Chains A and B, each alone.
Chain A
Amino acid sequence: GAGVSQSPSNKVTEKGKDVELRCDPISGHTALYWYRQSLGQGLEFLIYFQGNSAPDKSGLPSDRFSAERTGGSVSTLTIQRTQQEDSAVYLCASSPRGAGELFFGEGSRLTVL
């Protein structure tokens, strides 16, 4: 497809389990971003990848959160030992260059029971 693809679209897990969320950006886009949208709250920046530069991890809320981007394309956001407060929609975006126009995927809705 031409857009940003995210999987799974929905994930229900038990507290304490690890989860992985995947993002496949638009082909050729060098920048990739993860945001989190919690119920009733705005979008919260998590992490930013741009080309081969070191990622900006300043938005990750705790060391249980990590992300990687392999081969400058697909990215995986991993949440270890999930907590109920991690329940949210995790949105991935890409842009053709750093600070360019953002294009978002449909998001992965995470529910931690």
Chain B
Amino acid sequence: KQEVTQIPAALSVPEGENLVLNCSFTDSAIYNLQWFRQDPGKGLTSLLLIQSSQREQTSGRLNASLDKSSGRSTLYIAASQPGDSATYLCAVRQGTNAGKSTFGDGTTLTVKP
């Protein structure tokens, strides 16, 4: 059974700092991994999708990496802004026929002005 862990559960940083969020998973036979952000009372917004054959994906100030062999992914946020404050979740998909994604519990990020 796939288990996904995100550490830390909460993180507070001053504006402008670069930061890294971690996601680890127990079964390395994944199909893809997706990072989301969730604002309070809202749905999930897709940030980046990394296929199992890829090592990283970039979008603006965000960079996500994937190391399947060690069961880890990181989300790097450069030059953090107060608007980045949200909960960040990672989700792992096991296979092309598997509808289920397994989600971590998220890291709640607060960026202080």
Contacts and interface: CB of A to CB of B under 8 A. Distances in A.
Contacts, number: 60
A52 interface: no
Interface stretch (A13-21, A68-76, A102-110): A102-110
B42 A102 contact: no
B49 interface: yes
B31 interface: yes
Interface residues of B, number: 25
A104 B44 contact: yes
Interface string B20-64: 000000000001101010000011111001000000000000000
Interface of B: 31-32, 34, 36, 42-46, 49, 89, 91, 93, 95-106
Interface of A: 4, 31, 33, 35, 41-43, 45, 47-50, 56, 58-59, 91, 93, 98-99, 101-107
